[in-house]
Structure 1
Amino acid sequence: MRWRDAFRTGTDLAVVGFAVLLAALPLVTAGAALLTASRAIGRYLETDSWPPGRLLWADFRRSLLPGLAASAVFVVVAGLIVLDVLALRSGRVPGGPPAMAAVAVAGLLIAGLSGLALVIGPRAALRLAGERPGTLAGAAAVASVALTLAVLIHPVLIPVLLGHTMFAMHVLASRVPQRSPA
């Protein structure tokens, strides 16, 4: 890949991140925006071209209900993790730093699993995590780097980070050998 191709891909992914941000502003459309962007990135990796706008719009409309359900599950799980951390930090729950470390690792694994589910679907992500735990660990590492960078960079660049993180999850999932039919 020449530097111009890499630059073009990087800028395209930045645009995808900003498009997801704009499409997710009503909040109830966040899941649909992420699903649509993920499918667009998948198509880009397969064909080296982005889908046309009319296909993206149709995919976005089809993804509204499944995306809303996925967003609701994400909010509940993230809320439970935050409650665990707050309870551990306040001392109301015993365990201290070791328990907080365990909750942090569990949170990163859930973030990695969520990233894989966005890319290959929830059932396939669960099956892949069971069959190839190293892939789940890799997805958790991608999520960990993305979360760390999100804290360290200027907030304006977070959409750029989002597009590149979704791309990384797609590349990670594409590196896993496919199961042969039994």
Structure 2
Amino acid sequence: MTAERPRRDWRDTVAEAADLALLGLAVAVAALPLLTLAPAVATASAALHDRSVTGSWPPVRTSLARFGRALPAGAAVSAVALAAVVLLAADLLALATGRVPGGGPALAVTAVVVAALLGYAGLVAVAVGRTGGRGWRSAARHAARTCLHRPGVWAAAAGTCALATLLAALVTPVAVPILGGYTLAALHAVDARRPAGAPEPAEARDLAIRPEAS
């Protein structure tokens, strides 16, 4: 006979919700210098991956070590990501205010492109979490293959990021950092879903084999 798994009750749900909220706050604090945004997200993604594999969060010392190792490459990734965000936000603002011709159709197309890029970035964050918060190039290639071979996952990731962006604009600013932990957890859940019987992609196996790749 196999032992039955213990049933989860409301206390487990509340505890997990609190953990994700704290994770989001930790990411926000670590990302305050802006150039540490990518290392903070990568470290949080690695913690979520550990949580899904082992059932427990990694020790604080492990997360701090991962954050330190992720800083050199992560700072460059942060700079590129922030520059892209500024350019896309300026484009959307110019279209919304009528300073650039195109009107509603151009604004809608641009919004879809932005959501797609956010979805891709979210999948990169998930992939880099499998390598202990490092290996941005491998994660970017893996996310690109995911978008190509599993467009439904890409669409779900884009929708998740778009919903998080909308909620961030609606909730009180104090609650915005909390969304980070929930959004990253949702992206991990989206990426983990695949059709029943579908083999695990080779790229995902390669990432799992090299958990601390640089």
Aligned pairs (5 A) from 1:18-167? 18-120=25-127, 121-167=139-185
Is the contact made by 2:157 and 2:190 (CA closer than 8 Å) also made in structure 1? yes
Q: TM-score, normalised by structure 1?
A: 0.93
Runs of 4+ aligned residues of structure 1 deviating over 3 Å after TM superposition are: 89-93
> Which whole-Å CA distance do the structure 2 matches of 1:88 and 1:26 have between them?
30
> Which whole-Å CA distance do the structure 2 matches of 1:87 and 1:165 have between them?
28
> Which whole-Å CA distance do the structure 2 matches of 1:91 and 1:154 have between them?
28
Q: Any idea what the Cα deviations from partners look like across 1:44-100, whole Å, max 9, x if unmatched?
A: 111110101111111000110222122112112212212322332454533111001
Structure 1 unmatched runs, 5+: none
Structure 1 partner of 2:9: 2
> Which whole-Å CA distance do the structure 1 matches of 2:73 and 2:116 have between them?
22
Give identity over the alignment, percent. Answer: 43
Normalized per residue, which structure has more helix?
1
Structure 1 partner of 2:211: none
| Residues 154 and 90 of structure 1, relative CA distance in 2, 3 Å threshold | closer
Please tell me the root mean square deviation across aligned C-alpha atoms, in Å: 1.6
> Which whole-Å CA distance do the structure 1 matches of 2:29 and 2:96 have between them?
35
- Alignment length, in residue pairs? 181
Is the contact made by 2:35 and 2:76 (CA closer than 8 Å) also made in structure 1? no
> Which whole-Å CA distance do the structure 2 matches of 1:21 and 1:91 have between them?
33
Shift of 1:180: 5.6
